[in-house]
Amino acid sequence: MGELFKNIMQIISDWAIPIMLVGIPVYGFAKGVKVYETFIEGAKEGFEIAVKIIPYLVAILAAIGMFRASGAMEIFVRLVSPITDLIGMPAEVLPAAFMRPLSGSGTLGIVTELIKTHGPDSFIGYLASTIYGSTETTFYVLAVYFGAVNIKKTRHAVASGLIADAAGIFAAVFICRLLFG
């Protein structure tokens, strides 16, 4: 059963992106959408939004830098690691899991270090990579997108995003234990 699941996941993983890269433009063309022109218009809008969000981006990156430089990340990891040990999550992966809601590039740096240290085919390498792909930069997204449209009260967005991140982490641990553990 586990080997069949692994083979199916490998086939999906190999073909998902090529099918989407070809399928979406073909579908749009079949529906009469001017695919190239629409893409260019979207790229223009994306660039305009990027210029608007630069102040928010600088603020969140400065806050992340202070959090890591202060040593707060290491303290937080030490406090929470007994809990994650119960679900089978190695303590080495905790910094990546905690950094992910804050910064994609910061998390990528941590994941890169873990892969260099433990190897790309290690359980820690698989788990860190899966967490990176299964979670979102919640605070970054909220700061950038809500800031771009001047939303001041986030209501339930922070809680919803963090719950989704926790679900992604638990799912990553479960799937990695199933496939690689």
- At 73, the amino acid letter reads M
CA proximity to 91, closest of 124, 117, 62, 137: 124
Other beta carbons within 10 angstroms of residue 175's beta carbon come to: 17
Q: In whole angstroms, what is the distance from residue 160 CA to residue 10 CA? A: 30
104 and 140 in contact (C-beta within 8 Å)? Answer: yes
97 and 136 in contact (C-beta within 8 Å)? Answer: no
Q: pLDDT at position 1, please?
A: 63
Mean pLDDT, contiguous 10-residue spans, the chain (181 residues): 83 93 94 93 86 77 80 84 89 90 86 92 95 92 81 88 95 93 76
